[in-house]
Amino acid sequence: MKTWIPDARQFAYLTWKQVEALPKDETLLVLPTAAIEQHGHHLPLATDTLLNNLVLGHAFAHLAPELPIYALPPVCYGKSNEHIGFPGTLSVSAATMMAVLRDLGASLAASGFKKVVLFNSHGGNTSVVDVMCRDLRAEFGLRTFYLSGMGGAKLTGLHAQERAYGFHAGEVETALLLHGTPELVHTEQYTSNYIAQVNSPDVLLPENGPATFAWLTRDIAPSGVMGDPRPATAENGALWLQAAAEKVAAALLAMYSYTNRFQP
């Protein structure tokens, strides 16, 4: 898999003696969680994994080289059962994913580490990762953090409809890959579907509402796309990547500097 993570930030490139020598109280480890799943007719299965790596790699450019912040190898397989039925989607269950994250947390704690960030770029993983952040804190005393794949970056030029319901393989993901891996974007294969309309007064929403319905992609998006990739440009992809990298770097710095207010 392609990587934008500098070699010096790759945890798995260290020897065990180098790991032993790391300042364990300070070192911040970033565990990417992503997916291998259908992304419409035009984007690769690895889209979320590539985007996670792209953003994290660029975020490192904003962090002082001497800070002990490392990227762990990603958990590429995610909870993607919303996309089952589309060939190529490789999903693990919530229970499996929780078990993997728990076991990795146990290993990190056994190695003496104290701080780990779950850096997630697949929406289907969000609730699992959220649960595991708290469970790793409770079970192993790890100081855990959650960080979303775009770091909450403001994406200038994105329309309200796409901002609200461009869930998957829409303008944002397409623009980022047009910038990052243009050779993997099939620009002649764009399709568009929306799960809901931003101006509709519907009581039931697919997400982010007081009353929601559980959705499967095949219910509403025959092509697998939820959003509209057609307006995507590599120029916006570059801008949004920079915006995300800055937000992610700022969040990582805050996590690195974070100290527990109530315990020494």
Question: Which positions touch Zn ion (CB under 5 A)?
Answer: 47-48
Comparing CB distances to Zn ion, the nearer of 40 and 57 is 40
Q: How far is the CB of 168 from Zn ion (least distance, A)?
A: 5
Residue with smallest beta-carbon separation from Zn ion: 48
Comparing CB distances to Zn ion, the nearer of 69 and 185 is 185
Q: How far is the CB of 34 from Zn ion (least distance, A)?
A: 8
Comparing CB distances to Zn ion, the nearer of 47 and 192 is 47
Q: How far is the CB of 14 from Zn ion (least distance, A)?
A: 30
Q: How far is the CB of 3 from Zn ion (least distance, A)?
A: 18
Report yes or no: 35 and 44 within 8 Å, Cβ to Cβ: no
Identify the residue whose tokens are 């710095």. Answer: 253
Comparing CB distances to Zn ion, the nearer of 28 and 185 is 185
Q: How far is the CB of 173 from Zn ion (least distance, A)?
A: 5
Using CB atoms within 10 Å of the CB of residue 146, give its burial: 0 to 12 exposed, 13 to 18 middle, 19+ buried: middle
Comparing CB distances to Zn ion, the nearer of 11 and 171 is 171
3-state SS assignment for residue 116:
strand
Determine the Cα–Cα distance for residues 168 and 31; give it in Å rounded to an integer.
Answer: 22
Determine the Cα–Cα distance for residues 216 and 165; give it in Å rounded to an integer.
Answer: 14
Determine the Cα–Cα distance for residues 176 and 172; give it in Å rounded to an integer.
Answer: 6
Helix (H) or strand (E) holding 49: helix 47-60
